[in-house]
Amino acid sequence: MKVKRFGVSLEENLLGRLDRLVEEKQFPNRSQAIRFLINKYIVEEKWESDDEVAGAIVLVYNHHKRDLQNKSTEVQHNYHDLILSVQHVHLNHDNCLETIAVKGSAKRLRALADKLISIKGIKHGELVMSTHE
């Protein structure tokens, strides 16, 4: 892919915020930070327009919670066409982390994530979406 160079004019306070982003995220330069921000915008735009996206649903839960795994499996079976893989990790004696790789319309991925996260006993859950291109 060919790189094009261009100049950018920014107010001093906005440039300062960009430089803080470069430092916080440890980007090698401002150009990489601008690429990151543009790509982030494009992904968020895809979420809003309900385009096909890829992502992961991360769940942390106590596996001793009665019927939680059965409910989670039932929800996942109802959305089987979106699920690419599931990874289950034992964090300690009581707690598990599950990472569910997903791909599909942003709206359906949100619905799946909401159903899983709302299961009684889920301690934490989050959907992370990205582009698959």
SS (H, E, C) 105-123: EHHHHHHHHHHHHCCCCEE
**Mean pLDDT throughout 9-35?**
93
pLDDT at 27 over 90: yes
- H helices of the chain, where? 12-25, 30-48, 68-78, 106-117
**Mean pLDDT throughout 70-92?**
96
**End-to-end Cα, the chain, rounded Å:** 14
User: pTM of the entire structure?
Assistant: 0.76
Cα-based distances in Å from 131 to 13, 52, 55, 86, 102: 31, 8, 8, 19, 11
Quote the pLDDT of residue 66. Answer: 87
pLDDT at 32 over 80: yes
Percent of the chain clearing pLDDT 90 (strictly above)? 73
Residue 133 near residue 103 (C-beta atoms within 8 A): no
* Secondary element (H or E) of residue 99: strand 95-105
Quote the pLDDT of residue 20. Answer: 94
**Mean pLDDT throughout 46-70?**
89
CATH number for 52-130 (one of 3.30.70.100, 3.40.462.40, 3.30.70.1150, 3.40.250.10): it is 3.30.70.1150
Q: Residue 34 CB: number of other CB atoms within 10 A?
A: 15
- Confidence tier at 90 by pLDDT (50, 70, 90): very high
Delimit the domains of the chain by residue range. 12-48, 52-130
Quote the pLDDT of residue 39. Answer: 86
pLDDT at 47 over 80: no
What's the mean pLDDT when you consider all of the chain? 92
Quote the pLDDT of residue 43. Answer: 80
